[in-house]
Chain A
């Protein structure tokens, strides 16, 4: 029997109620605006008046996929829904698709061409399409005989790049033959991904054994991991940080022969501290984690990018000149109005 796939309009309250009730019956409980508002489109299959399968897409992430297999071959509705979601995204020229799901559904997705990037006890993270993680890793610069070298890594958002970041990289550069610096690519910061990458490159130009690269879709995007499918007793941050660490451990580190990851100690931000703890829990023994105490400026204050952003908001750069390499300072000075107008437009500057 052929079942047709229809669009579900979630702004229609009757449709929304039915959709929500169906997913609830399958154990999905979180319908907060934070998760649902990001949905671009939702499709479903009806059997008579009953909704029996649904799936949604938010950007390039599949969400809220739920299927009832009563009375049909197991997997057929799941395949139909996911196949349709994938086809529609391809029509929109989105060729690289992610899914975050309960661990027990990972295999179903792998069965239809998704590749698992990492998993924890409760969750899994998969991708399909291209460019995939192998393309990303193949595209990174390498050094000769990399497998025999001591390779370190630092992951940073660098919003913006400060002397604190530089201090951390310098430490790593001294203790290793080569150091990869991954700059987070997600666009959720005051400074754009391009600006951050450019400033990191400029601020580290004189260090010969440091390779600065964009983190792509695979690094500390944990803030964007959807968490709606998790049971209540698992906190979102725990799962997000653990999953991110697993991706680094199982995909990134082996491909680049990274044996040590450097993080800055985190006295101020709770989330970042939790992230550091997750790395220490997940990465060893394959990858050692070295926590470097935060650098302080001459007044004894801890250098943080948060303080720099606050100074930008206030328009007073005199206090932060000591915390910044000249490349970052010059950039801020030249673009102060633009940066301030981003803050005026509602860009949050209190995060990481």
Chain B
């Protein structure tokens, strides 16, 4: 699936993560900013990548600012950002959830 417009989801509050998706050419490129990147960076990237793949998004630039989000939050924010970026907000992708 193609990214139709740049989109953002999430906040910068503690325990949340802000995900921004924009058009990309070369795969899923994640730029992660997190205080716990050293400990959990790989896991955060894996959750984002896995969620995007369920939407068949292959080429996208991801900017993620993590404030200590749990996996379920990362997933939820990624789904919200993806649906906004694909302009499919009015057709929630239940099977992805």
Contacts and interface: CB of A to CB of B under 8 A. Distances in A.
Interface in A55-99: 73, 76, 79-80, 82-84, 86-87, 90, 93, 95
A269 to B, nearest CB: 39
Interface in B20-76: 20, 22-23, 33, 61, 63, 65, 67
A73 B68 CA distance: 15
**Which of under 10, 10 to 19, 20 to 34, or 35 or more describes the interface residues of A?**
10 to 19
Given A95-B22, A129-B6, A130-B6, A112 B12 contact: yes
Nearest to A78: B12
B18 interface: yes
A79 B12 CA distance: 5
Contact of B14 (A76, A90, A112, A129): A76
A113 B61 contact: no
A67 to B, nearest CB: 13
A128 B12 CA distance: 14
Contacts of A90: 6-8
Contacts of B33: 111-113
A184 B56 CA distance: 40
Contacts, number: 45
Contact of B11 (A87, A95, A129, A130): A87
Nearest to A83: B12
B2 interface: no
Tell me the dominant secondary structure on chain A's binding face.
helix
Interface residues of B, number: 17
A57 to B, nearest CB: 15
B7 A80 contact: no
Nearest to B16: A83
A112 B22 contact: no
Contacts of B11: 79-80, 83-84, 87
A135 to B, nearest CB: 9
Nearest to A86: B8
Chain B CB within 10 Å — which of A80, A83, A112, A129 has the most? A83
Contacts of B5: 93
B14 A113 contact: no
Contact of B65 (A73, A76, A80, A113): A113
Contacts of B65: 112-113
Chain B CB within 10 Å — which of A79, A112, A128 has the most? A79
B18 A83 contact: yes
A87 B5 CA distance: 15
Nearest to B8: A90
15 contacts: A79-B13, A80-B11, A83-B12, A83-B13, A84-B11, A87-B8, A111-B33, A112-B12, A112-B18, A112-B33, A113-B18, A113-B63, A128-B63, A130-B6, A130-B23
Interface of B: 5-8, 11-14, 18, 20, 22-23, 33, 61, 63, 65, 67
